[in-house]
Structure 1
């Protein structure tokens, strides 16, 4: 069995794409996923399956959400090593007096090119900062996530990818949950 973490984008936000986590859990168990565990209402779902391919798992989850709830929900599936890499490679964690509440990670559907940071045109979203590592973008917001243009829609438009963003506290909790499984 392989454990995957599915990050669902855009559910239970401002009354849109409403899905109760218990109902989602039941729907995923009904199609063969095991040990389904959710974290908060924003769409973080652990599943165990014989399938090792993350993209195939994400596609199956996306299909089931559409079938069961009628919502077209982008899904990014990551593994434990990806979360561990967040802690190892996040350059902002080395800063003194860092406000963790302004730290986020955008998980991307594909591996990014090393020059993808240029494509983001960060000068348009200054003073927010970003750093790219494989299929993650580390973000440090100047004011906060609610007051920036540098959001998932901006990232998706500039890089032609699927992205979903989690705050640092959520990333920390998800790694802890992975380790407890």
Structure 2
């Protein structure tokens, strides 16, 4: 089975840096095959026997902590689950016209619809959000960098950890 793994808050601020070559080597040491990385921001794919996603996430999290001393969260999906997330995108126009400002934010746990309603009330600018199965989609028409719709705000309202990737990266990971 092929998996897509996202590391949360890796290589973005400088404090939790892991070299992608070392991450690939760690995956091979763990017995995974076909380990590849994409960009320097904690995206990887690998092949493994079919396993429960929480078990795979915990295995990677523990190994990264033991090897690199970095405590991070992994969010893992099978490639069919990733493709289903793409197919369920509620923002097809934005995906085509403005993919750099459309984020998929896969979540560690299920997303409660009432939490999404609460998050929408907290949005003060032109951003919009929609929930899918264990994924929040967010469009930032004015850009992401200065937006007040931060991961911290999203997680506070949803009650679950998320990690975001822009639509260009989402498509590259499935390819």
Could you tell me the TM-score, scaled by structure 1's length?
0.89
Q: Which residue does the alignment assign to 1:68?
A: 67
Q: Which residue does the alignment assign to 1:27?
A: 26
| Structure 2 residues not aligned, in runs of 5+ | none
Q: Which structure is richer in relative contact order (CA contacts within 8 A, separation 6 or more)?
A: 2
Is the contact made by 2:119 and 2:154 (CA closer than 8 Å) also made in structure 1? yes
Q: Which residue does the alignment assign to 1:126?
A: 125
Q: Which residue does the alignment assign to 2:43?
A: 44
Q: Secondary structure at the match of 2:6?
A: strand
Which contiguous aligned blocks of 4+ residues in structure 1 show a shift greater than 6 angstroms?
none
CA RMSD of aligned residues (A): 1.8
Q: How many residue pairs align between the two structures?
A: 175
Q: Which residue does the alignment assign to 1:179?
A: none
Task: Write the deviation string for residues 116-152 of structure 1: whole angstroms up to 9, x where unpaired.
Answer: 3113144433311001111111111021111112122
Q: Distance in 2 between matches of 1:150 and 1:27?
A: 34
Q: Secondary structure at the match of 1:146?
A: coil
Q: Secondary structure at the match of 2:28?
A: helix
Query: How far off its partner does 1:97 sit?
Result: 7.9
Q: Which residue does the alignment assign to 1:147?
A: 146
Q: Which residue does the alignment assign to 2:57?
A: 58
Is the contact made by 2:8 and 2:42 (CA closer than 8 Å) also made in structure 1? yes
Q: Which residue does the alignment assign to 1:169?
A: 168
| Structure 1 residues not aligned, in runs of 5+ | 177-181
Q: Secondary structure at the match of 2:2?
A: strand
Query: How far off its partner does 1:115 sit?
Result: 2.7
Task: Write the deviation string for residues 71-111 of structure 1: whole angstroms up to 9, x where unpaired.
Answer: 01111001212221233221211469832221111110112
Could you tell me the TM-score, scaled by structure 2's length?
0.92
